[in-house]
Amino acid sequence: MIHRYFWTRVQFPPPPPNFEMDNSKIIRSSLEIALEKIKNINISDEEIKKAEYFEIGKKIAGQYLTEKKFNLLKAIDSYPETVRKYIKESIENILLMNIVLPRKDSIKKENRKAMEGIVILKKDKNTALQICSAIEEQLNNYKRQVDETYKQLKKNFQSYLEDTRKEMEQQIGLKVKINIESIPEFQKQWKEILSQIDSEYTNFLELSKQELKNIS
């Protein structure tokens, strides 16, 4: 049996004469909704002031990290004493964010600069120095472990593929060089190993940063 379907176009009635869409009502309605949501949110003058000087602190931190002879305390002291606590807190947050795992040699210098800045900000400089020294030691251990583990993994792959390389040379009669680092399996294994190492040292780093925040 063959079923036949017949489709008919649905005719909607035309809009009434002189019909116009009032977009202003839609806009006003959206605005009213937004205002309704925020009308009960009270933002104190203190919070506004804090946000303003947090932005200033960010700029000062950026100057300190990028300029060689930047005087951090002088920059802070150029503002009224009543707002310096906000600026210092903002600068400290930025400096802590810039202490990271040194996957590149250049990062070691940047980490030290950030930690020196934190010590400058702290009243309890001895405790701050102790924590920063421990951080620097562990970050050096991290870099050493990463480098040594990478070399060992590469050596293992080279040893594993040595017979394959020799067979290829015998077959084609030419010297064959295998780029271990471009092998997908090598990249996969290294990514997994690096993730494990990163996790261990990241936990230590975050705890140490919190210790720095807690001291005066």
pLDDT at 205 over 70: yes
Higher pLDDT, 192 or 166: 192
Query: Strand, coil or helix: what is 10?
Result: coil
Contact 60/74 with Cβ under 8 angstroms?
Answer: no
Higher-confidence position of 171 and 99: 99
Give residue 25's pLDDT: 47
Q: What is d(CA 80, CA 96) in angstroms, rounded to the nearest whole number?
A: 24
The CB density around residue 21, as the number of other CB atoms within 10 Å, is: 8
Contact 87, 76 (CB under 8 A): yes
| pLDDT at 20 > cutoff 60 | no
Query: What average pLDDT does the segment 33-56 reach?
Result: 71
Rounded Cα–Cα distance for residues 153 and 159 (Å) = 10
Give the whole-number percent of the chain exceeding pLDDT 90.
Answer: 53
| Spatial contact of 139 and 197, defined as CB atoms under 8 Å apart | no
C-beta of residue 50 within 8 angstroms of C-beta of residue 87: no
- pLDDT, average across residues 164-192: 74
Percent of the chain with pLDDT over 70: 71
Please, which residues have CB within 8 angstroms of residue 1's CB and are 6 or more apart in sequence? Answer: none
pLDDT, average across residues 37-41: 61
